Structure 1
Amino acid sequence: MSSQALDDATSYIIPLSTYDTHGLCTNYPLRRHKWEAEANAGSQQARSDWIKYIGPIEEFGTCNPINGNYPAVALPFTKPERLSLIAYLMEYLFLYDTVVEHEQQEWNDTDPALGRVQLQAKILLQLASTDSDCTERVKSRLKEALAMTLREKDTHFDSLEQYLECRMVDCGAPLLEALSLFGMGVTLTEEEDAKLEPIRRPCFIAIGLANDYLSFDREYLEFSESVEPKTLKNAVWLHMQWYHVDVSAAKKMVLDKTRQQEDEFLENCARFRRENNDMPEKLNRHLEALAYQVSGNVVWSLNCPRYCPDYRYDPNAGIEDVLTKKSMPEMLGINYDALFVHKADEDSDKQVDTGSDSNTGYSRTSSTDSFTTNTSTEPETHRDASTSSCTSAQSSIGIEKSMAHHLPKGELLDCEHIKAPFDYISSLPSKGARDVFIDALNIWLNVPAPAVSHIKSISNRLHSASLMLDDIEDGSSLRRGQPATHTVFGTAQTINSGCWEILNAVQETQQLGLKAVKIVLEELSELHIGQSYDLYWTEHSRCPSEDEYLEMVSKKTGGLFRLIVRLLLDSSESKAPKGNLHTDMGHLAGLIGIQYQIRDDYQNLYCRDYGVQKGFCQDLDEGKFSFPLLHALSVQPGSKKLLYELIQRRRDAGCLSYEQKLLVLEQLDCAGSMTYTRETLKRLQGEVHKDVKKIEDMTGKENWILRALLQKLKIHS
């Protein structure tokens, strides 16, 4: 099916002449999504969550029962199954903007700051689980927009150029573009992004200025009634100040500038198409989508309840579908059906249309459930937004039938294959050291049993997932004396399973609270940064300094130890002063991580039993700059050249022969590197025991379990 046919199947073409646009959007097209009920449902779910986690809210967001919910008219190319999620995010942003503007009071039964973080976490989790590739751009633009909203709240602007640099981001235009791409399931390469940057700039400016022009009356009224001295961040107000003119004159100046930017964007698009005849269809479609953002933004703003008091109703009643069912035939001559995306767990021969003519109003179980449980009706392998399984472009019935035809008649696909690699590595012999470590620390912290159980599960999931991925990245063929997971299930399936388990770990962390999720994400980030350096040094045969190596280990290996400690501290019911415990136990976790990794490096080269588990001197085959090797390269000029020659042979052949490995070990002994490594481990062991004793004294509890566990890390000459 062509893009045009797909668009006609999912949205209505609306004549722009239907509306008094104040001369804006001349020569622009307009569409309205047929699955607008999904957008209404997403908006209402966001409001419900806002009230639950943050507090009461009476301000309006994206809903507009007359001209259409914001994403329904600004993002008409969105896949129906993604519309609710996008509307949820946009509703949240509108309400967030209101809180920042008015510094809304805190409520007795909620923590608004924590609630906002919780909702943002929910949004990002849902986005990533729907389409992780497209989510990266949304995350980046969302972070940028939220930061700009706070940073530029009371900024004084001296020129229009200075203001527009801020306003383009603050109005959410780059985020809107990212949501458009997410909605279509399209990603841009860096090269494509760079090409489009000058093309879309006037589009972003036009959206920001149109927003200022059409929202000014509401903002100016609130500004005039405010008893607090402040400025108004609106282009109309700024023109009044810069040029000493009244409201009418300033509005005309902003209107003219907006039209100019709209025209410039269309000219840019036409020129870009002429100069790039062979450009991918996705770029052409993206430019079309940007144009719909311009017109949709204007049409929505004309009579949205957020800007226009005359059109307001109870924003929390959930009656948008009822109101739209009345207004759409009157305004556009189109009968409104509340279409919802068909859920996978419903009988597949039901129609997608689950709307009701009932006058009770809000009946959106299908849509809100699809958001909170992340069900999807379209296989996410269909990445190209220009393709569709629809068989008819003439009406919504066509796409409904097609979607019903392709939906499974039940839960045919379970978790068997995605779990198999993880189950395999979990079945391999393990000493259960992490569980013992957690139990040992809990002697000091008094963490409730349910939380301890979750922390053990989370740490084991993350550890096993990291082993699966590490073995792929390192090219390891053995794990615990058995074939590495990817040599059994294949690289792709192992990566998929490992990533899935990381997601499961993050989801389980939600049982411990929002702060726990933040802890896990922070330490996962540190772990991956550390791993990136380990991989980079190996790939480029670049020997790190000892300080660089220790920092890498602190991030990579120490990350899981710190994660465990921080989760336990966060769940602790101990009466000991947590401030000191946080510092001292964090330091202890870091030392143990470093000790563990250096010991692992030593064992890999020196221990016969380790060779059976992982292969003889496996680190040399993998090209790693382990602690003994980097020491030898830094202190033994004579052997340095020989060692680098052997490293190069490893790169050429992918491994070293038994004889070559013996030669490396000989050079390490000559450099005193194995002795230096043993001495370093003894020093670390002493520091670890000092930290343990300090915490024992602080808590008044000896920790024999931890001491016994640490004893196993000792290296014997």
Structure 2
Amino acid sequence: MDYSSLRETLRTPQWSEAQDRILLEPYTYISANPGKEVRTKLIDAFNAWLDVPDADLEVIRRIVRMLHNASLLMDDVEDSSELRRGIPVAHQIYGVPQTINTANYVYFLAVEELLALRRPSRAGSPAGEVGVAPGRASGASEMGGMGGTGGTGGIGESGRTGGMGGSGGPSGAGGIPGSVAGAGAIGTASIDMAGTAASSSSSPDSGPSPKSRDTDHPSIHASTSADAKGKQKQVDLVGTVTDELLCLHRGQGLDLFWRDSLTCPTEEEYVHMVLGKTGGLFRIAVKLMMAKSASEVDYVPLVNLISVFFQIRDDYMNLHSNEYEDNKGFAEDLTEGKFSFPIVHGVRADPSNRQILNVLQKRTTSRSLKLHTVNYLRTHTRSFEYTRGVLETLRKQIEEEIRSLGGNKMLEKIMEALGVPGEK
């Protein structure tokens, strides 16, 4: 190498497709073995209502898939999992450091994909600058209540409308610190549908690939589309996704804290944690679709219900399903020491009995000990029966919400497929 002109040589950093493939190997590995693609199916179902342009919808699918698989890489490391979708987890093959780096890399590649959504969705809609309004959005008000401005509050808590995560706190009425009113800065948003500013929504077919960054446009973080009346709708897409990724990591962080400190949450705390951890990716998909749709309907409350149902059902199936045993191992949540929904109920149903807590603390791999704990949850605390009752209540609420929004056959079929088996 000639160092005599190094200054000029370094003006063009070298990065090849071959190097990119190496970096992405853990991601490629997990993506090559897809799961049931529930998130993709939900996107298609909600699109029956939202009718997002095909090109935008494909970008949204890709973003959600990238973020989902990257989060699974991190989850498996954090949970010390051995199986994912029936095969060894990525970090057992590629190591923990490379897997973490790859997951973080894919998060940023997803942000680059997000910038593709800044163009107008409808012909004749100019990509103007984003107007600024304090706070966030229609959709965000149902996000959930842990963090933000008010600590551990409930859904629809004051401050930032959606309490769990995002940008409340010292910056004022839900604005992201550093945003400048009137400047179209990152973290600001506007929907102009009636001539006045309003809070905006804060609310692997093809894998990730590096793209050149376009920074010349003043509203690179904004999406511009037209609503049903042809009026301009502008949404800060980067702010929306950032808020939800904050929610996701806050929820995940609490889940890990409870596990590692052997602290059993209340059911309410658990539900709000799930609203962030599981709901974040669901809301990213639907909020991006809402931003690129002519529809003015807010589908986030329905998404939140589905998110909580989905996670509680997943917790139930982890301890109850032969299929889950094949994919992840028998009662893997007990080995991870996780306070899943049936376990939270079991611990709190009989506080005088510490059997469940002692098993969680041991992180046992003993099948006989885990089977004993599952039977204890089934017969002594009746936690499976209780969980099925909660899931049935949530299912009825979801079905009613779907009906109130005009019905959706695809979504109804997805809910039918997410059945809850009874006792074996």
Q: Is residue 539 from structure 1 mapped to residue 260 from structure 2 by the alignment?
A: yes
| Alignment partner of 2:83 out of 462, 470, 478 | 478
Taking the aligned partners of 1:648 and 1:493, their CA distance within structure 2 comes to: 29
- Measured against aligned partners, the alpha-carbon deviations of 1:340-373 in whole angstroms (never above 9, x if no partner) come to xxxxxxxx86xxxxxxxxxxxxxxxxxxxxxxxx
Taking the aligned partners of 1:553 and 1:409, their CA distance within structure 2 comes to: 42
After superposition, residues 394-409 of structure 1 pair within 5 angstroms as 401-403=5-7
Q: Give the structure, 1 or 2, with the largest relative contact order (CA under 8 Å, sep 6 or more).
A: 2
Taking the aligned partners of 1:432 and 1:704, their CA distance within structure 2 comes to: 18
Taking the aligned partners of 1:618 and 1:716, their CA distance within structure 2 comes to: 18
Which residue identity does 1:649 align to in structure 2? Answer: K
Indicate conservation of the 8 Å contact 2:251/2:274, yes or no: yes
| Alignment partner of 2:356 out of 630, 637, 643 | 643
Q: TM-score, normalised by structure 2?
A: 0.69
Q: Which residue of structure 2 aligns with residue 674 of structure 1?
A: 384
RMSD: 2.0
Change (3 A) 1:440 1:471: same
Taking the aligned partners of 1:410 and 1:495, their CA distance within structure 2 comes to: 23
Q: Which residue of structure 1 aligns with residue 395 of structure 2?
A: 685
Taking the aligned partners of 2:15 and 2:368, their CA distance within structure 1 comes to: 55
Change (3 A) 1:551 1:451: same
Q: Which residue of structure 1 aligns with residue 367 of structure 2?
A: 658
Taking the aligned partners of 1:682 and 1:572, their CA distance within structure 2 comes to: 32
Aligned residues: 304
For residue 429 of structure 1, report the CA deviation from its aligned partner: 3.5
After superposition, residues 558-577 of structure 1 pair within 5 angstroms as 558-574=279-295
Taking the aligned partners of 1:490 and 1:563, their CA distance within structure 2 comes to: 29
Indicate conservation of the 8 Å contact 1:448/1:573, yes or no: no
Which residue identity does 2:395 align to in structure 1? Answer: Q
Q: Which residue of structure 2 aligns with residue 706 of structure 1?
A: 411
- Measured against aligned partners, the alpha-carbon deviations of 1:621-648 in whole angstroms (never above 9, x if no partner) come to 000001011101111245x322222223
Structure 1 unaligned regions, length at least 5: 1-347, 350-398, 697-701
Q: Which residue of structure 2 aligns with residue 415 of structure 1?
A: 20
Taking the aligned partners of 2:244 and 2:397, their CA distance within structure 1 comes to: 23
For residue 512 of structure 1, report the CA deviation from its aligned partner: 1.4
Taking the aligned partners of 1:621 and 1:447, their CA distance within structure 2 comes to: 42
Change (3 A) 1:460 1:405: closer
Q: Which residue of structure 2 aligns with residue 601 of structure 1?
A: 315
Q: Is residue 633 from structure 1 mapped to residue 335 from structure 2 by the alignment?
A: no
Q: Which residue of structure 1 aligns with residue 151 of structure 2?
A: none
Q: Is residue 505 from structure 1 mapped to residue 215 from structure 2 by the alignment?
A: no
Q: Which residue of structure 2 aligns with residue 622 of structure 1?
A: 336
Q: Which residue of structure 1 aligns with residue 165 of structure 2?
A: none
Q: Is residue 492 from structure 1 mapped to residue 97 from structure 2 by the alignment?
A: yes
Change (3 A) 1:400 1:417: same
Q: Which residue of structure 2 aligns with residue 78 of structure 1?
A: none
Indicate conservation of the 8 Å contact 1:422/1:498, yes or no: yes
- Measured against aligned partners, the alpha-carbon deviations of 1:245-291 in whole angstroms (never above 9, x if no partner) come to xxxxxxxxxxxxxxxxxxxxxxxxxxxxxxxxxxxxxxxxxxxxxxx
For residue 466 of structure 1, report the CA deviation from its aligned partner: 0.4
Q: More helix per residue: 1 or 2?
A: 1
Indicate conservation of the 8 Å contact 1:561/1:593, yes or no: yes
Which residue identity does 2:355 align to in structure 1? Answer: L
Which residue identity does 2:417 align to in structure 1? Answer: K
Which residue identity does 1:659 align to in structure 2? Answer: S
Change (3 A) 1:689 1:411: closer
Which residue identity does 1:691 align to in structure 2? Answer: E
Percent identity (aligned)? 37
Taking the aligned partners of 1:621 and 1:547, their CA distance within structure 2 comes to: 24
Taking the aligned partners of 2:375 and 2:342, their CA distance within structure 1 comes to: 12
Indicate conservation of the 8 Å contact 1:595/1:684, yes or no: yes
After superposition, residues 287-306 of structure 1 pair within 5 angstroms as none
Indicate conservation of the 8 Å contact 1:685/1:714, yes or no: no
Taking the aligned partners of 1:492 and 1:408, their CA distance within structure 2 comes to: 27
- Measured against aligned partners, the alpha-carbon deviations of 1:226-252 in whole angstroms (never above 9, x if no partner) come to xxxxxxxxxxxxxxxxxxxxxxxxxxx
- Measured against aligned partners, the alpha-carbon deviations of 1:597-632 in whole angstroms (never above 9, x if no partner) come to 001100000001100100100000000001011101
Give 3-state SS (helix, strand or coil) of 1:476's partner. coil
Change (3 A) 1:623 1:442: same
Indicate conservation of the 8 Å contact 2:73/2:100, yes or no: yes
Indicate conservation of the 8 Å contact 1:557/1:593, yes or no: yes
Taking the aligned partners of 2:272 and 2:283, their CA distance within structure 1 comes to: 14
Q: TM-score, normalised by structure 1?
A: 0.41
Give 3-state SS (helix, strand or coil) of 2:24's partner. helix
Q: Is residue 453 from structure 1 mapped to residue 37 from structure 2 by the alignment?
A: no
Taking the aligned partners of 1:547 and 1:477, their CA distance within structure 2 comes to: 30
Give 3-state SS (helix, strand or coil) of 2:99's partner. helix
After superposition, residues 93-242 of structure 1 pair within 5 angstroms as none
Indicate conservation of the 8 Å contact 1:477/1:483, yes or no: yes
Which residue identity does 2:334 align to in structure 1? Answer: L
- Measured against aligned partners, the alpha-carbon deviations of 1:54-87 in whole angstroms (never above 9, x if no partner) come to xxxxxxxxxxxxxxxxxxxxxxxxxxxxxxxxxx
Taking the aligned partners of 1:548 and 1:685, their CA distance within structure 2 comes to: 20
For residue 403 of structure 1, report the CA deviation from its aligned partner: 4.7
